[in-house]
A = this chain, B = another copy of it.
């Protein structure tokens, strides 16, 4: 939750926005950094408003549904910096999804496992290629590029690990 709060406060810090805008920006530009969903964004905005970290003004364009435009408050800025510092020092402790399966791989014939891992390897390489193909440059948020590089590094690491694992399986008598 802290992470999502940090994201919303950070986006509002650079510019007052309404919910739709924030969600739209995340979907379009930050799909590779956050998976926050629309409903989550709206309800977080509501909650942050209630707790005084952001404040809302209502805007209306003609006959359209009214917008709730949110701005960050001084308390919100303080919270933003606190969360940002916490986030920067925090160690990533990975518990990769697929590793439970790896634990039980001996329950299947070696060749079958190698087949699955090769499939996974190919899909991961595809994913990596898609990241390498599109150098993203999100305006005013150029730290995003560092996170993309981070993910690319992680994919490469995964690929190496899979190759090594497959090799080792193959080498088994």
Shortest A169–chain B CB gap in Å is: 9
- Which of chain B's residues have a CB closer than 8 A to the CB of A123? 89, 91
Copies in the assembly, this chain: 2
Interface residues on A, range: 35 or more
How far is A156 from B106 in the complex, measured between Cα atoms in Å?
A: 27
Given contacts A90-B120, A127-B91, A158-B92, contact A100 B150 (CB under 8 A): no
Asked if A160 CB lies within 8 Å of chain B CBs, one says: yes
Residues of A within 8 A of B (CB): 3, 6-7, 10, 13, 30, 33-35, 80-81, 83-108, 113, 116-117, 119-120, 123-124, 127, 141-144, 146-147, 149-151, 153-158, 160-161, 164-165
